[in-house]
Structure formats: C-alpha cells, structure tokens
Chains A and B, each alone.
Chain A
C-alpha cells in the first residue's frame, strides 16, 4: 500500500491528526443549525395549528414556551436562525467565487459566530428594555 506510492508526500489528512479550523466549525454548525431549525419549523406549524384550534389548545403550549425550558428553546432557535441566516449569506457569496481565500473565510466565519451570539442577546434586550409591549 504505502510502498506502492512513488513518493512520500502526505496522503489525505486523517481526522485524528487534523487541526480544528473555524471554517470547519462554521460548516458543521450550518448543518447542525439547519437540522435544529427543521425541528423548530415543525414546531412553528404546530404552534399555528394550536392558535387556530383555540385557547384550550394554545394556552398549554404557550405556558410551555413562556416557561424556562421554552424560553431557552426560543433563545436557541433565534441564535440558530441568526447563524444559519448569516452563514447562508456567506455561502451565497462563496457561490459567486468570492471570499474563499482562507484568511477571508476565517474572518467571515468568526463574524458569523459572533453575529449568532449577538442577535438573541439583542432581541432579548429589545424586548426587555426597548419599551415595546
């Protein structure tokens, strides 16, 4: 196998000796948030159907969503939407052939991650301190 190779150039890197890159994380997170948002969107459909069914169906669901577990879920959903949105735009830019240099891709990956952290905090602050009811 290795002896059959005419030279000693490195073969494809193995997972165990692969350095962690932010672009790797950004790619994995895009798929993970997409998967999570799939589940969340099914929840959105159930929420709309509960609203149409009336208060007796809607109120228990809303009690859950306003409770601690529901609030954590909603916070994570907003973060996932922010991430998938920003990284999706990043990928649309990649599709044009722009921004693919490692330094640029690293920078935009970090920007996307920071955006996903900032957005739910911003929305929470707007709802809590923004003076809107």
Chain B
C-alpha cells in the first residue's frame, strides 16, 4: 500500500504502454472482472427470465422488466456482458485478421456496435419502466 502508484502494471509497461495489440494488462484485468461479474449475472438472468417469461407473452416480459430488481439486473447484465464481449471479440480480431485496413475496420466496428446496442437496450429497459 505505498501510495497511489500501486498497480498490476509493470513500470516498463506503464512507460511504453503498448503491447502486441496496442495494450495488454488493462484488457486482461477488465476481461477477468467482467467474467466474475457475469458468472453471477448470466445464470441469474437465464433462470429468472426462463421461469418468468418462458411462455413468451408480451405482458410477461413487461411484468418481468418492471420489477426493480430485474430492471437493475438486466441493465447490469447488458452493460457488463457487452463490455466483456467487445474485449473478447477484440482478441479474436487481433488473432485472425492481419490486413491492417480490415483489422482496423473490424476493431472500430467492434468498438461501436456493442456500445450502440447496449445504449439502446438500457434505454429500452428505462422506457418500459418510465415511458408513456
């Protein structure tokens, strides 16, 4: 606990702050903490959603999403899982796509699409709860 400099990053890594993929340790750590969070959120959602709205009716979905605990849980699930999956896809793209243009284009797409859809999904949950 020697001051604010305490970090999992090595001094050399902090100076250069570029690994093979442009960065490294931050990605690794973010992938792990989102994984731990999702190990709780994902099974909670699957079991709860299946039991509450297994029949698939519209009213069942609205009932499910207007429960405050479910609403917060779904928003957390979307936020954390979309971050986790963007990190994972970034790794897949870095591994398999080598042409610079294709790689940059796919990395940009992977940076934007999950954010856009996550924002839409969170707004949808809010709309169900507070909308007209």
Bound pair (A, B): yes
Q: Which A residues are closer than 8 A to B by beta carbons?
A: 31, 34-35, 37-38, 41-42, 44-46, 48-49, 51-53, 55, 58-59, 62, 65-66, 78, 81, 85, 88-89, 91-92, 95, 123, 126-127, 132-133
Chain B's closest residue to A55 (CB) is: B58
Q: Are A52 and B131 interface neighbours, CB within 8 A?
A: yes
Q: Are A51 and B120 interface neighbours, CB within 8 A?
A: no
Q: Which residues of A contact B35 (CB under 8 A)?
A: 88, 91-92
Q: Which B residues are closer than 8 A to A by beta carbons?
A: 32, 35-36, 38-39, 42-43, 46-47, 50-51, 54-58, 61-62, 65, 74, 78, 81-82, 85, 88-89, 92, 113-114, 117-118, 120-121, 123-125, 127-128, 131
Q: Contacting B47 at CB < 8 Å: which of A34, A41, A53, A123?
A: A123
Q: Are B61 and A41 interface neighbours, CB within 8 A?
A: no
Q: How far, in whole Å, are A91 and B31 apart by their CA atoms in the complex?
A: 11
